[in-house]
Amino acid sequence: MTAIFDEAVRARLRAANIWYVGTVFADGAPQVSPMWVDLEGEGELTFNTSVGRVKEENLRRDPRVYLSHADAADPFDRVQISGEVARFVEGAEAHERMDRLARKYLGVERFEWTMPGERRVAVIVRPVKVRHIVGVERFRPGGPVPAP
């Protein structure tokens, strides 16, 4: 079942916030990168990378992905999204999507830092679980019991 973003999370995804995107190496170790992220339609999100980058290789092998964002004014106001790659978009459309992210994040028409021979790939993520936490996170049910 796809998680639905509430309006507060949707606003974070619409804004030019940096998100930390986590993938899993073949040995199970985490890999995390700061990324530009955007909404993809109503229920998915997207970010862009290049063919051959560690995160792209990790996601092709293991489609699990985790995104995290903390509010700059209050780092205890944070959003955590776990999801799975729904699809990869390559070719001209991936480059156009990178331009769209550059407009959102930099206010420029085109992403100007593509290296010769670089092939962009847009990653479309289907969220599985979305959490918006403000303040200290409560213990899960069955966690420590308060002292009498």
Sketch the domain layout of the chain as residue ranges.
7-133
Q: Which residue has the higher pLDDT, 141 or 35?
A: 35
For the whole model, what pTM was predicted?
A: 0.87
Distance of CA 119 to the CA centre of its chain: 20
pLDDT of residue 1: 43
CATH tag, 7-133: 2.30.110.10
pLDDT tens, 32-89? Answer: 999 999 999 889 999 999 999 999 999 999 999 999 999 999 988 999 999 999 999 9
Strand order in the sheet with 77-90: 30-36, 18-24, 64-70, 77-90, 120-134, 44-50, 38-40
- String of b and e for 106-131 (b: at least 16 CB within 10 Å)? eeeeebeeeeeeeebbbbbbbbeebe
Torsion of CA 99, 2, 19, 96, to 10 degrees: -10
Q: Tell me the chain's radius of gyration from C-alpha atoms.
A: 17
Of 131, 132, 128, 130, which is closest to residue 63 (Cα–Cα)? 128
